[in-house]
């Protein structure tokens, strides 16, 4: 493992079904790394609130009135756990995959602690899944091999003023390590993707369209009309492999 920082950093993680930190090994289910064995760490807290979010336990705690279609509020104490970067790195290093996916919530809200985590895992390739609203800190950025940027469209329920920041989108469009993954619920969402692609000069082969859904039937139903649109526009289609394999469950 790499070197510790002089001031230990703390990470706030989501919990799995046992109440422990959501650190696990699985196959990546989405985007350009789909099918690859990966280690995962899921962080808690998010600066956005998607109405269809399937990890609302990372942000919709009791007292949070931001809308979510499930309407469920989660107890913060039982759905968050704090680990030092060293403790998290040791747990990740015990897993066989040497590729690490950092997801959330919004991981870049905890960039300082993530930079220490990354420094402790020098033999891991590291991918970050982000909503694209937070600029990566230089100290963390130096360790990242891939950013999977998922800007939130109008159907997410987030105001564009919060979710689609022109300065950030221009930066991600200019970042060669970044790909874009858009959650799609209806054909109109693809029209919004096309406008963003044209507005920010994103090459179509860097764009993945992924159906919204938390069960196989919903995913297949949306892919039936989404696949031809991908062919027409030159976009890439992303399934949600983990949903087919494990269902909508934590730690998978």
Does residue 4 register a pLDDT over 90?
Answer: no
With a cut of 80, say whether residue 159 has pLDDT above it.
yes
Model confidence at 8, pLDDT cuts 50, 70, 90, reads confident
Cα–Cα nearest to 181, from 131, 247, 136: 131
Q: Which two tokens stand for residue 230?
A: 């991908």
Query: Helices then strands (H, E): number in the chain?
Result: 9, 10
Burial of 70 (0-12, 13-18, 19+ CB in 10 A): exposed
User: Average of pLDDT values for 171-185?
Assistant: 98
pLDDT at 2: 83
Domains of the chain, CATH where assigned = 10-181 (3.20.20)
* Calpha distance 102→111 (Å, rounded): 11
Q: What global pTM score does this model have?
A: 0.97
Q: Is residue 223 predicted with pLDDT exceeding 90?
A: yes
Is residue 60 over pLDDT 90?
yes
Q: Both tokens of residue 112? A: 């300082």
Residue 15: strand pairing partners: 21
What share of the chain has pLDDT > 70, as a percent?
99
C-alpha distance from residue 125 to each of 35, 128, 145, 161 (Å): 15, 10, 6, 33
R_g over Cα of the chain: 17
For residue 7, pLDDT over 90 is answered with no
- Confidence at residue 26, expressed as pLDDT on a 0 to 100 scale: 98
Q: Of the candidates 143, 141, 146, 131, which has an alpha carbon nearest to the alpha carbon of residue 33?
A: 146
pLDDT in tens, 86-105: 999 999 999 999 999 999 99
Pairing label, strands 80-84, 10-14: antiparallel
For 141, phi then psi, to 5°, come to -55, -35
In which band, very low, low, confident or very high, does the pLDDT at 217 lie, cut at 50, 70 and 90?
A: very high
Q: Of 131, 87, 137, 71, which Cα lies nearest the Cα of 110?
A: 137
């Amino acid at each position: 493992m790499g070197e510790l920082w002089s001031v230990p950093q703390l990470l706030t993680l989501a919990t799995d079904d046992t109440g422990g930190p959501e650190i696990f090994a699985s196959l990546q289910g989405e985007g350009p790394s789909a099918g690859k064995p990966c280690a995962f760490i899921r962080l808690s807290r998010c600066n956005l609130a998607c109405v269809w979010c399937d990890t609302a336990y990372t942000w919709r705690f009791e007292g949070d009135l931001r809308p979510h279609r499930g309407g469920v509020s989660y107890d913060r104490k039982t759905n968050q756990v704090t680990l030092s970067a060293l403790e998290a790195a040791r747990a990740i290093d015990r897993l066989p995959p040497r590729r690490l996916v950092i997801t959330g919530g919004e991981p870049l809200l905890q960039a300082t602690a993530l930079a220490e985590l990354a420094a402790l895992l020098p033999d891991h390739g590291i991918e970050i899944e982000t909503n694209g609203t937070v600029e990566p800190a230089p100290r963390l950025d130096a360790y990242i091999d891939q950013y999977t940027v998922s800007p939130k469209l109008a159907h997410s329920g987030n105001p564009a003023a919060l979710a689609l920041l022109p300065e950030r989108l221009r930066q991600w469009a200019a970042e060669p390590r970044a790909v874009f993954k858009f959650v799609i619920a209806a054909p109109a969402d693809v029209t919004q993707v096309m406008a963003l692609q044209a507005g920010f000069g994103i090459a179509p082969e860097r764009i993945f369209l992924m159906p919204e859904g938390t069960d196989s039937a919903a995913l297949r139903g949306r892919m039936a009309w989404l696949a031809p649109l991908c062919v027409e526009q030159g976009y890439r289609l992303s399934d949600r492999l983990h949903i087919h394999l494990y269902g909508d469950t934590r730690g998978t």
